[in-house]
Structure 1
Amino acid sequence: MDAKIVLLPGDGIGPEIIKQAERVLAAVAKRFNHRFAFESHLIGGTAIDQTGDPLPAATVEACRAAGAVLLGAVGGPKWDDPSAAVRPEQGLLRIRKELQLFANLRPIQTFAELVDASPLKREIVEGTDILFFRELTGGVYFGDSGRTTVDGVESAHQSMVYSVPEVERIVRMAAQAARSRSNRLTSVDKANVLEPSRLWRQVAQRVMSEEFPDVQYDVVLVDAMAMHLISRPRDFDVVVTGNLFGDILTDEASMLPGSLGMLPSASMGSDGPGLFEPIHGSAPDIAGRGIANPLATILAAAMMLRHSLGLEDEAGKIEAAVRKVLADGLRTADIAGGQDSIGTEAMGNAVVAAL
């Protein structure tokens, strides 16, 4: 395969972890006789410093022409002024919009070697393997908003809006994924209170009954789901939900494996390249020290091969290599539990060697 891969290192530890993921992808290309052409472009705070824009036009053009996009992280205290007109995070929101990425995929998987790093008991989290589908471009985050003052009293509002097509496309994508796993799908809403959730539930039920009658389907209210993730996470396989609920639930679920440094994510649309990234932030406190955990970014590269380039075997080989280095006892500081640890480059070396 010939594929163009755009790298968006971004800010903080982004350049360090992207470098290791690029090395792993180069090793995969060599082993499987592919040709990957890598291009690096600006996004986030670094882009603001160099161009005044968190998402320069050249970056958008390159991403649209790519087979896939791999992102490091954006943001940091240098650009944290809440009154600033231009912020790094605007670049991330805009690239999702420019590439029409409406689905965020976030796998929550525990590694046997790290299960004791979880704040929950081993018997609760061991064997957890959930794939979340979060709707990414609708809901309250993109609803009409504003502030008004009446009789000296200020109020604020923001609307939660979902359309039938928005619900249909994310439910279909999640159901198709369920068919390739354990054939189980859970939809999370708040239909007992919110009208958009009632529409969500009606549309999801119709799509599942008409198009996916073979998939085991159930519905859980979001407050109950928040409890279930802590008490019985192994009961869930594929979960689909809206933007707000997905944002909160996936952050909660990210604590099940015990470290943000192990969790990748993907943002996908109907056509064009997907955007793949670790779920952790830019970690400016450790940037440049060579101790960041690159495994989430390396696993994001595996998701990229699977979901954007259709290279399932190659993706599996990366994931197997990550499991091997963990089985060999290699740890970066965030997953070492105070024991001996290795740095970012050494961990990258170990994954490449395992490949």
Structure 2
Amino acid sequence: MTKTFKIAVLPGDGIGTEIVAEAVKVLEAVTEQTGHSFEISYGRIGGCAIDEDGTPLPEATVQICKDADAVLLGAVGGPKWDNNPGHLRPETGLLGIRKALGLFANLRPATMHKSLVEASSLKPEVVSGVDLMVVRELTGGIYFGEKKRYTDENGQDTAEDLLIYREDEVERIIRSAFDIARKRNKRLVSVDKANVLESSRLWRKVAERVGADYPDVELTHQLVDSCAMQLVRAPKQFDVIVTENMFGDILSDEAAMLTGSIGMLSSASLAEGSFGLYEPVHGSAPDIAGKGIANPLATILSVAMMLRYSLNLDEEAGRIENAVWAVLDAGHRTGDLTDDRSKALGTVEMGQLVREEMKKQFVSK
């Protein structure tokens, strides 16, 4: 039985409009091949919203997202808005939409596909076979704590950022990570800084308590600096990593680069139930915006995650993923994946190849 899904699409800034356009075409290809339809509503977020609406997150955009079954986001930010006050920075819109939609769990897979081993800056024997998931808490911690900027009693310009976590916030993300680990290889590493931070000591205590409910999953603890080192030294030791907001932001980008290009990494930000926001891990790349050379594969793979986690279309998600890997196996590359820029494909060309491969799979099915 075919279904109709409502998708909120927020292209954002920089290359966001280019890569999201290719991802939407992939959704159209799914419609052609399966009959499932996608009602798409567009909204503004980030710098473009500041320019058009005077705020990085218009209320109309929030409502479009709340009315949807899932959200597809491009990227936000750029040097144009770097000197804006905090409430008028593009990233404020990103934090705001996560909070407004209750997106507490950020899933960032880092998988080394065999055809991209040489694209990594690390030795092939180190990265070959890497397949890990970083689960990042998304709505708490230092990003959302009270912020102050003032002149102290000595006349020094001073800044404060408050790091707060409640027990229920920690338990919610820890349980999500255990559930994911249970479906993978049953190994979970909880990352903290418990030797220094009280918030991390709470985090570790909750992880131990929740772990008792998952006797089939091996739980270990690791300090964040050690984890950062081990991700580069021996990344294949990891299956699922769970950590707080700021540590997760940093470690997930580090894990992304194991695969050779941040342009290949998708992500999901999930709320309670099946609702989620899906976006590439990379930023808005303003230096290449408008040149038609951005890699759309992370955004296309984000669509696959959306079909799997929010829309329960596993077969269709697999078809997209298989098409991406087939295109790469055939030797096709965008500029970020090859040193030979003369043979690099553009954004539209790469998107077209993926859709053609999806069609081949559908016809041969």
TM-score normalised according to structure 1 size:
0.96
Match of 1:174 in 2: 177
Contact 1:115 1:126 in 2 (8 A): yes
The one-letter amino acid of 1:34's match is H
Which digits, 9 at most, give the CA deviation of each residue in 1:184-230, with x for residues without a partner? 11111111221111111111111111x21111211111111011101
Among 282, 285, 309, the residue aligned to 1:283: 285
Match of 1:336 in 2: 338
The one-letter amino acid of 1:30's match is E
Match of 1:42 in 2: 44
Which SS does the other structure have where 2:11 is aligned?
Answer: strand
Give the unaligned 5+ runs of structure 1. Answer: none
- Counterparts in 2 of 1:215 and 1:338: CA distance versus 1, 3 Å: same
**Aligned counterparts of 1:72 and 1:145: Cα–Cα separation in 2:** 27
Which SS does the other structure have where 1:70 is aligned?
Answer: strand
Where do 1:101-116 residues align within 5 Å?
101-116=103-118
Match of 1:3 in 2: 5
**Aligned counterparts of 2:20 and 2:161: Cα–Cα separation in 1:** 36
**Aligned counterparts of 1:53 and 1:150: Cα–Cα separation in 2:** 34
**Aligned counterparts of 1:158 and 1:253: Cα–Cα separation in 2:** 26
**Aligned counterparts of 2:159 and 2:285: Cα–Cα separation in 1:** 32
**Aligned counterparts of 1:155 and 1:71: Cα–Cα separation in 2:** 35
The one-letter amino acid of 2:210's match is V
Contact 2:189 2:238 in 1 (8 A): yes
**Aligned counterparts of 1:47 and 1:200: Cα–Cα separation in 2:** 36
Contact 1:64 1:273 in 2 (8 A): no
Where do 1:7-18 residues align within 5 Å?
7-18=9-20
Where do 1:228-247 residues align within 5 Å?
228-247=230-249
TM-score normalised according to structure 2 size:
0.94
Where do 1:160-239 residues align within 5 Å?
160-209=163-212, 211-239=213-241
Which digits, 9 at most, give the CA deviation of each residue in 1:82-110, with x for residues without a partner? 44751222211111111011111111111
User: Quick one: percent identity of the two aligned structures?
Assistant: 56
Which SS does the other structure have where 1:266 is aligned?
Answer: strand
Which SS does the other structure have where 2:152 is aligned?
Answer: strand
Which SS does the other structure have where 2:174 is aligned?
Answer: helix
Q: Which moved more, 1:152-161 or 1:46-55?
A: 152-161
Pairing 1:87–2:89 present: yes
Deviation at 1:140, TM superposition (A): 1.7
Among 305, 308, 311, the residue aligned to 2:310: 308
**Aligned counterparts of 2:155 and 2:94: Cα–Cα separation in 1:** 37
Q: Which moved more, 1:224-233 or 1:211-220?
A: 211-220
**Aligned counterparts of 1:156 and 1:178: Cα–Cα separation in 2:** 38
- Counterparts in 2 of 1:11 and 1:57: CA distance versus 1, 3 Å: same
Deviation at 1:265, TM superposition (A): 1.0
Contact 2:193 2:223 in 1 (8 A): yes
